[in-house]
Structure 1
């Protein structure tokens, strides 16, 4: 089974991940594998119970839970071609079309968290590969992308590391949001190089860039937050918040006055963050 295409589009605050795979099996067999709980349990991220009709309830039971952590609703059930349902605030649509002696399976996952797309894509990559193995009569391997290489490949493919610059009432502000692939404690240790920052002291080198030298630390809360002042009248904030499966979400901002060269600073910060992500992959 080889990928046909993986694409990402965003409109009106919602992002759609579309993944196509060709399977060497007829639509009815693929339909059974994506709708019957006994088959779903072997490749889907959770155990699933489903009332297979439009409006029917879908339950998602994760390992260790005694009852479904969340439920959804079936939005489409057209055997053997379309199965779609909600999952929290997300929507999953599976389409099966005949393709020679096999089928073309298309998953469209629609969600609000654009920067989680690489996590979702790498997770579905593993799951759909396992689905193909199951259909081929092999043991389904649903081992997660613990190393992070697949996640980082999708992040690069979808250009999810690009930051933004905006003008505000106070001046200019740049922002980078990026999903990381190691625990927050490990990221913090990499940034601090083992020396815990203190208020009033210069920020550790790991939190600086070539365009932004260390200023005095104004706020610190390991392993979540570090802020420091910049000249003139600006601030850098590193925030490690809850992410999507692989590790914390980094939100990095720098603010400055109206003549602050935010574009140059953004380029330096993007290089800095990519270097951090590359080092984390090695650990």
Structure 2
């Protein structure tokens, strides 16, 4: 298996190559006919097999009763090329003769770069299932991508890197990282059980229905390079924001936000702001938070793979 992730026209292009010991004529029905697709593709598919034909995708054991999303056939050239859209995402399956077998080239075009490791690990399981079906083995629908596999794609595709941006009044460091455990589990590992309460406003007062945050954040949310000041916003288990200090005075904000992810777990968005004239601190923050997030991600992956 050979995988790559590139950017083209502002979108992400995941490409997976897999050599199969079967000719294109045998593989073609498995990648185009609904009764075969349901055995390895992650949704129940119905399609009109012609260019411009309508496609529907549904999930659940009773596909006819499940919510549907739609797409269209963009290319249909047996037994060589099948391309289609699924809502805003594009898919392409190419079959190239390769001796007695063929080279399958699978492409997925999407916008969510931080979700690329989830997509790649999921498609790897799907294509391994397809390979087994072609060899006559029954599909194991209980298979799920391991968290370690997910993390290997994060590393391979450079998805653990953050960015430093210049703003109108200083700088901002931002990380967006797909994790492999739900927000509650991430919060607990960070020590968030010591930081509970409702949403608070920027000045630390209680928002309607919330409880005022007070004190300093748990150590798991901090880094030694930027001393933590007072918590300014708190909504467990998804949000914690606090001031960081320089020379004993607030200098900027650090914000941890756990949002819905791509199926493996929560999506972490971590941001730190700093004042103008301290650009070097942006590079320091980039390194410090990378060093903080990576052990967290590894620990969560180990926990995820221990789950039943």
TM-score normalised according to structure 1 size? 0.95
Partner of 1:205: 219
Asked if the contact 1:127–1:142 (Cα under 8 Å) also holds between the matched residues in 2, the reply is: no
- For 2:266 and 2:285, the matched residues in 1 are separated by 23
Q: Residue 79 of structure 2: SS of its match in structure 1?
A: coil
- For 1:109 and 1:146, the matched residues in 2 are separated by 18
Q: Which moved more, 1:204-213 or 1:192-201?
A: 192-201
1:200 Cα deviation (Å)?
2.7
Q: Residue 117 of structure 1: SS of its match in structure 2?
A: helix
Partner of 1:269: 289
Give the 3 Å change call, closer, same or farther, for CA 15–80 of structure 1 in structure 2. same
The runs of at least 4 aligned residues of structure 1 exceeding 3 Å deviation read 142-147
Match of 2:242 among 224, 228, 238: 228
Partner of 2:269: 251
1:41 Cα deviation (Å)?
0.8
Q: Which moved more, 1:167-176 or 1:259-268?
A: 259-268
Give the 3 Å change call, closer, same or farther, for CA 133–103 of structure 1 in structure 2. same
- For 2:112 and 2:143, the matched residues in 1 are separated by 20
- For 1:92 and 1:209, the matched residues in 2 are separated by 41
| Greater Cα radius of gyration, structure 1 or 2 | 2
Asked if the contact 2:192–2:237 (Cα under 8 Å) also holds between the matched residues in 1, the reply is: no
Which digits, 9 at most, give the CA deviation of each residue in 1:140-192, with x for residues without a partner?
Answer: 23434354111111111101010000110010100001000001110111112
Partner of 1:165: 164
Give the unaligned 5+ runs of structure 1: none
- For 1:103 and 1:188, the matched residues in 2 are separated by 47
Task: Report the aligned-residue RMSD.
Answer: 1.4
Asked if the contact 1:59–1:68 (Cα under 8 Å) also holds between the matched residues in 2, the reply is: no
Match of 1:55 among 49, 52, 56: 52
Asked if the contact 1:180–1:247 (Cα under 8 Å) also holds between the matched residues in 2, the reply is: yes
Asked if the contact 1:126–1:143 (Cα under 8 Å) also holds between the matched residues in 2, the reply is: no
Give the 3 Å change call, closer, same or farther, for CA 144–88 of structure 1 in structure 2. farther
TM-score normalised according to structure 2 size? 0.88
1:68 Cα deviation (Å)?
4.5
1:69 Cα deviation (Å)?
2.1
Which digits, 9 at most, give the CA deviation of each residue in 1:49-99, with x for residues without a partner?
Answer: 111101111111201551452010000000000001001110000000100
- For 1:253 and 1:193, the matched residues in 2 are separated by 18
Match of 2:34 among 34, 37, 40: 37
- For 2:256 and 2:141, the matched residues in 1 are separated by 34
Give the 3 Å change call, closer, same or farther, for CA 181–95 of structure 1 in structure 2. same
Q: Residue 83 of structure 1: SS of its match in structure 2?
A: strand
- For 2:67 and 2:57, the matched residues in 1 are separated by 5
Which digits, 9 at most, give the CA deviation of each residue in 1:23-47, with x for residues without a partner?
Answer: 0001011111001111111111011
Q: Which moved more, 1:158-167 or 1:209-218?
A: 209-218
Give the total of aligned pairs. 280
Q: Which moved more, 1:21-30 or 1:67-76?
A: 67-76
1:230 Cα deviation (Å)?
1.1
- For 2:224 and 2:100, the matched residues in 1 are separated by 57
Asked if the contact 1:56–1:73 (Cα under 8 Å) also holds between the matched residues in 2, the reply is: yes
